[in-house]
Chains A and B, each alone.
Chain A
Amino acid sequence: MKYVLLICDDESRSPSNEELAADPVHQAWLADLQRRDVRLYGLRLRPVETATSVRVRDGETLVSDGPFAETKDFVGGLVVIDCADLDEAIAIAAGHPYARWGGVEIRPVWE
């Protein structure tokens, strides 16, 4: 089954890409993905201060600064995996470094 992992946190800590790559937890996580052969795609988003939201209401385009949703945690990246079932997706999500301070939301892909 295909799942998207939404990697979320409140952005109170924001490791650089280099720091993240050097994090042993991140390295272990990547190794786990490779071993399982489940990763299809992944990307990291820039912080939410760079976000712009667009809405169209009554034919008028409204552009505003900031994220669409007002929540404590923001999506900071996403990973697409193709694995056996939800339990494997949970095991993978639990290994992601952000699971330690933020959280990982698992969403099945509509296929």
Chain B
Amino acid sequence: MTASVDDVRAAVDAAYRDEWGQVVATLIGLIRDWDLAEDCAQEAFASALETWPRDGIPKRPGAWLTTTARNRATDRLRRDAAGREKLRQLAVLAEPVPEPDEIADERLRLIFTCCHPALPFEARVALTLRTLAGLSTVEIAKAFLTAEPTMAQRLVRAKRKIAEAGIPYRVPPAELLPERLAAVLAVLYLIFNQGYDEHDGDRALTAEAIHLARVLVQLMPAEPEPRGLLALMLFNEARRASRTDDGVLVTLEQQDRSAWDQAMIAEGVAVLDQALAIRRTGPYQVQAAIAACHATAADSASTDWPQIAALYAQLARLAPSPVVELNRAVAVAMSDGIAAGLALVDELAESGRLDGYHLLPATRADLLRRDGRVAEAKVAYEQALRLAPTDAERRYLSSRLHSL
């Protein structure tokens, strides 16, 4: 039962996307050696490219890859004395390749181990991308705008700390779950935003973050926040095509709504409903609810601003931050009038908590412009331009300034 080279290439690519995390997680669970696990998983995928054209594509590629990788690991461990000792301690030989259900559990363990609060935040993100998503060190370095050797160092250090400081390979007990889950969700959202904020966006990163959020939802069905995060990501991703125009940022108000992915929005609404039905509100659910208001409005004018303002007030209570306050000010301006919104913005500016943040003067400028206070708006746009961090934003702000 041979298979064509193209079919095999497609099957291996699909398996890499869908099963890499499972294969690595299962191997780490068996041999407790991160580097060996990754090496052997890599070899198993290479071996698939060689043998599948001859033997045919297996019915369960994930199981085939896991078995092959495990056999590689066993061979390698047998070759040296320390490895033989390790083999005696571990159940690598005896254990059958786990069923998909158990594998799901392994992956959850892997996520929680990668996102352990004893690791530096950037290392958590990098390690998650590397071991669960199978991204190469080069790709991760690129996403973080760091040099490859720096990123490689960071990964080596993180793996070493897991081994030497005794970070357990497990899902934390119930009492630690909320705190640890928050870190996992933060990492996934950061991965998503990393792919979303990029000038043209990095679809592979946003897709991976959405995929990992789906895994988390599937693994922790009783927790509402993973669903909240998944819904939030889906709403944002659905608007991707209309977010920029020739490298210039397009505001929500001016986006072409016919370019929004309606299937993705519908899925986001369904996922958010499931989350809200659990009746334990958290910051991701509230952010998703805000995104849902935007995503489901027929046009900019019919956006439910009073609802959005109320949701931001709730978010400010759940996860207080000056950026949330700024967003609330915009929503208040849209629902209660510009004067009310501007008062909140000025209050924030006086507090000094957003000094140096370009969106504060940009928001002020926009509200002043809407209010017809052109001269003041110009000054604020110029302020914002000096602080804006990306080209897309600078282009947007200067186009606004020149249209006044």
Give the B-binding residues of A (Cβ under 8 A).
1, 3, 84-87, 89-90, 106, 108
- Cα A106 to Cα B166 with chains together (Å): 11
* CB-CB nearest 4 A-B residue pairs: A85-B168, A1-B166, A85-B166, A86-B166
> Which B residues touch A90, using CB under 8 A?
118
Q: How many residues of B contact A (CB 8 A)?
A: 9
Q: Is the CB of B118 within 8 A of A108?
A: no
- Cα A104 to Cα B168 with chains together (Å): 20
Q: Which of B166, B172, B176 is in CB contact (< 8 Å) with A108?
A: B166
Closest residue of chain B to A110 (Cβ to Cβ) is B164
Check B165 for interface membership: any CB of A closer than 8 A.
yes
Closest residue of chain B to A107 (Cβ to Cβ) is B165
Q: Is the CB of A108 within 8 A of B165?
A: yes
Closest residue of chain A to B168 (Cβ to Cβ) is A85
Q: Is the CB of A108 within 8 A of B167?
A: no
- Cα A89 to Cα B168 with chains together (Å): 11
> Which A residues touch B116, using CB under 8 A?
86
> Which A residues touch B172, using CB under 8 A?
87
Q: Is the CB of A87 within 8 A of B176?
A: yes
> Which B residues touch A3, using CB under 8 A?
166
Q: Is the CB of A108 within 8 A of B164?
A: yes
- Cα A58 to Cα B118 with chains together (Å): 39
Q: Is the CB of A86 within 8 A of B176?
A: no
> Which A residues touch B176, using CB under 8 A?
87
Q: Beta-carbon contacts of B176-189 to A below 8 Å, as 1s and 0s?
A: 10000000000000
Closest residue of chain A to B180 (Cβ to Cβ) is A87
> Which A residues touch B164, using CB under 8 A?
108
> Which B residues touch A87, using CB under 8 A?
167-168, 172, 176
Closest residue of chain A to B117 (Cβ to Cβ) is A90
Least CB distance from A81 to B in Å reads: 11
- Cα A23 to Cα B165 with chains together (Å): 30
